[in-house]
Structure 1
Amino acid sequence: MKIMRFAGFFLLLILLQSCSDPNQFQESHYNGYAQGTTFHISYLYKGDDIANMDEILKQHFEAVDFSLSTYKDNSLISRINRGDTIATDDIFQIVHNKSVEVWEASGGYFDPTVGKLVRFWGFGPDARRAVDTSEVDSIKAYIGLERLSPISSPWAIPSGMELDYNAIAQGYTVDLLCEMLEARGISNYMVEVGGEVRCLGHNLKEEAWRIGVDKPTEDIDQQDRFQFILGMDSLALATSGNYRKFWVDSLSGMRYAHTINTKTGYPAKNNLLSVSVLAPTCMEADAYATAFMSMGLKGCLNYLKSHPGKMEVYLIYTEAGKEGWQVYQSEGFEKRVLN
């Protein structure tokens, strides 16, 4: 499953006012660093801008970290993983409930009980180390969302099990920030955190927001970096891939990608390079992008066939006997690609 590193919040604020007429839209931009990654927020407003936006953003990022960050010792999830019995908060419950929904829909390919495997394969807060694959089967005994009881107050999980919502929490953070903007009367915005993005309305040119997704390569060519550019309104986009987030075992030389297949207990190994998912919420798009990477190309296509119209996808993959990347894009996705 996809791993997202949570860290402290450092706000680098850039506030640009594009015009001064109170009857015309003005545009604000906020760029910074939170949850171990970058964020970019743009929105349009008339009249007075949102006051103390930097502090509002800080509070929202910290609230998600306090609930779901496996990198913070005092977070709710860290305490639960240590065996504590505690009362969960609204953030935890919302993300857990959506995780259960996607787990059921994906046949278990998305599973937040993956925490012990995340640490074992070197993608958690612990230092990376050489791995002994003979341990995988014993760790799998702690994997499986069906082992958890429904959340109550207070709540605990079975001894030895560890939760990890990092494959959905960043998408939820985007949704939370969007809800915050809408509650303040903002109806045109673009919110992006760590590559996961959600848009509503239009930009200052009265056009759909333009969102580019990088090609599936380890190195970015700034002159030719985008695989595609979308026009987005009232949609969320999440992309998952195995082409940058990986580590190499110094003893065996094996390369381990960050998407873990909870069925096998090993990092996913298939011909999918990248999955981009369009969905109404970023939390949903984020979770399904991870599930599809774990399923592999055949499993993903079978899922889409049996759930027509559920979501739109763009898949990049390799195929034996063919040079270069191959692409599959659903009809609804293709209609939104600008170039």
Structure 2
Amino acid sequence: MREAFLKGRWGLYFFLGLLLVLGGCQPPLKYVVNEGLVFGTSYRMVYEGREDHHLAIKEVLNDFNSSLSTYDSLSVISRINNNDSTVRADAYIKQLLRTGRRITHETDGAFDMTVGPLVNAWGFGFQNRSDISDELIDRLLLLVGMDQVWLEGERVLKKQPGVMLDGAAIAKGYGVDVVADFLAQKGITNYLVEIGGEVVTAGINSRGIAWRIGIDKPVDDTTASQREFQMIIEVSGRALATSGNYRNFYMEDGKKYAHTIDPRTGYPVEHSLLSASIIAPSCMEADAYATACMVMGLEASKDLINRLPDVEACFIYHTDVGDEVFLTEGFETMVVE
């Protein structure tokens, strides 16, 4: 009896020891940093995990790019724009259209993905700049409007062949969400995903505090070589996107032409709002709302944000005495510097 007891006890010790050995073979948790280029800009992912997922992340980004890049002639969105009748909408296109249509409605048309022909005409898209005239703008405006495009099963249908989808003001944020979802599916709870300044965060950083992100001062600089922060905020579990007219613009005859085109008028915006930084549940939404605010201007943007639940904003705008900052109450609580 005693012998059987001893055998059972030693068996238990062996089993516990085996668990310890196997557990000890796991790589330790550490913060991994992945960096690279995608969508014509840079990316940076920082996450706590036991392994480096960079190769898998690249595959996710390549798959996303092959769907929504207007600079890839073989992408799904390019084939739709080129009226390829054989192309079928994938999950990315379907979600893009659903979210884009909703935000177009919420912003009274200030955000509209069919603005592509106008963006191209002004030289900020994926085609060469046109000779601008009022007549040209009037013709192109006939191609703009989310009522011009819709899903029918797996097909994207358009009222006119010239209608084009331009996901530039929403797809980058969407790509950030896609990578963040990938990391979350891997069981990772602490991460920061940033693509071209659009960010999604979760959990804490390697110092054990919420992630800290800088909001740029809106200084005109197409090279982004003179970056200076307006403020630093702490964010966790939220998405952040900033839109402004201080990076992408050109000067002609002493006049500044900004890349933000108003889909309702067909012309680059001219108002006091210099940049809009939006906190939202998803980066896709934050990206689109930030663009809409840059179209709408300061006062209309304040009204929009007041109507949107769980959305906060930082607006930097120009006055006769210099640049001023407007913060929603929720955004103000995040400022640390």
TM-score bracket, normalised by the shorter chain, equals: 0.7 to 0.9
The match for 1:198 is: 200
The match for 2:230 is: 227
The match for 1:29 is: 33
Alpha-carbon contact 1:116-1:161 (below 8 Å) kept:
yes
User: Greater relative contact order: 1 or 2 (C-alpha under 8 angstroms, separation 6 or more)?
Assistant: 1
Two-structure CA RMSD over aligned residues (Å): 2.0
Alpha-carbon contact 2:121-2:128 (below 8 Å) kept:
no
Q: Which shows bigger deviation, 80-89 or 188-197?
A: 80-89
State the number of aligned residues. 310
The match for 1:239 is: 242
| Partner SS, residue 150 of structure 1 | strand
The match for 1:91 is: 92
Amino acid at match of 1:170: K
Gaps of 5+ in 1: 1-19
Amino acid at match of 1:207: I
Gaps of 5+ in 2: 1-23
Structure 1 residues 323, 150: CA separation in 2 closer, same or farther (over 3 Å shift)? same
Structure 1 residues 24, 55: CA separation in 2 closer, same or farther (over 3 Å shift)? closer
| Partner SS, residue 110 of structure 1 | coil
Once residues 310 and 126 of structure 2 are traced to their aligned partners in structure 1, the CA distance between those partners, rounded to angstroms, is 34
Q: Deviations over 1:44-85 (max 9, x none)?
A: 12xx314xx232122112112111111111111111111122
Amino acid at match of 1:335: T
Alpha-carbon contact 2:151-2:157 (below 8 Å) kept:
no
Structure 1 residues 167, 308: CA separation in 2 closer, same or farther (over 3 Å shift)? closer
The match for 2:210 is: 208
Q: Which shows bigger deviation, 23-32 or 70-79?
A: 23-32
Q: Deviations over 1:131-176 (max 9, x none)?
A: 3343101110010112223342233322211111110000000000
| Partner SS, residue 157 of structure 2 | coil
The 5 A counterparts of 1:5-24 are none
Once residues 140 and 125 of structure 2 are traced to their aligned partners in structure 1, the CA distance between those partners, rounded to angstroms, is 15
The match for 2:108 is: 107
| Partner SS, residue 149 of structure 1 | strand
What fraction of aligned residue pairs are identical, expressed as a percent? 38
Once residues 337 and 301 of structure 1 are traced to their aligned partners in structure 2, the CA distance between those partners, rounded to angstroms, is 19
So what's the TM-score if we normalise by structure 1? 0.87
So what's the TM-score if we normalise by structure 2? 0.87
Residue 187 of structure 1, aligned match among 169, 186, 189: 189
Amino acid at match of 1:202: I
The match for 2:264 is: 263
Work out which of the two has the higher radius of gyration on C-alpha atoms and give 1 or 2: 2
4+ residue stretches of structure 1 with deviation over 4 A? 20-24, 219-222
The 5 A counterparts of 1:1-339 are 25-45=29-49, 48-50=50-52, 53-85=53-85, 86-128=87-129, 130-158=131-159, 159-219=161-221, 225-249=228-252, 252-305=253-306, 307=307, 309-319=309-319, 322-339=320-337
